[in-house]
Structure 1
Amino acid sequence: MQTYLIVPDIHVPFHDIKAVKLVTKLIKELPQLSGMVMLGDFLDAFQISTYSKDPSRRNLLAEDIEDFKQILNEWSRNLKEGSNI
C-alpha cells in the first residue's frame, strides 16, 4: 500500500507559514510516504490572474516563483528518494 500526503491550495505568497512548516515536519516524520499530491493553486499568481487585483499587492511574479521554488525544494529534499510530488 502506498501513502501520500495531500496538500491543498498553498497560494504563495499568501501561504500560511505555520502550515508549510507542519507539512515539512510531516514529511520528515512519515518515512513511509510514497509522495505528495498538490491540490489546487500552489502559486497564487495574482499578477497574471483574471480576478480583481488589489493595488496594495506589490510583489513581482518572479519573487513569488522564487518563494514557491524554495518551499517545493525543501519538501523535495525531505522526501525519501524515489518519492513523487
Structure 2
Amino acid sequence: CDGLTATAREIACDPSQAIIVLTTFDADEDVVRALRAGARGFLLKDAPPSELVAAIRAAAEGRPVLAPGVLDTVMRLAAD
C-alpha cells in the first residue's frame, strides 16, 4: 500500500502515534488525505536536516508540523 494508506492503518491501531508524512509530492489531495488519516505532520523530502529534527521533536510533543508550502495549501483549502 502507499504511505497515506499505511498512515491511516497505523493511526487506526494506535491513535497516539505521531506520524509525519515525508514525501516529494505536495498535491492538495495528498495533503488532505494525510491529515485526515491522522498524520501529525507533512513535510517535503527537500527539507533540511535541521527542519526534520525540529519536526520530529514537535510531533513527539503533540504539535502539528507542516512544510511552509503545505501550510499555504491548507490555508487556501480552508478558505474555499
TM-score range, shorter chain: 0.3 to 0.5
TM-score in terms of structure 1 length: 0.34
TM-score (norm 2): 0.35
For CA contacts below 8 A with separation 6 or more, give which structure has more relative contact order: 1
Which one has the bigger helix percentage?
2
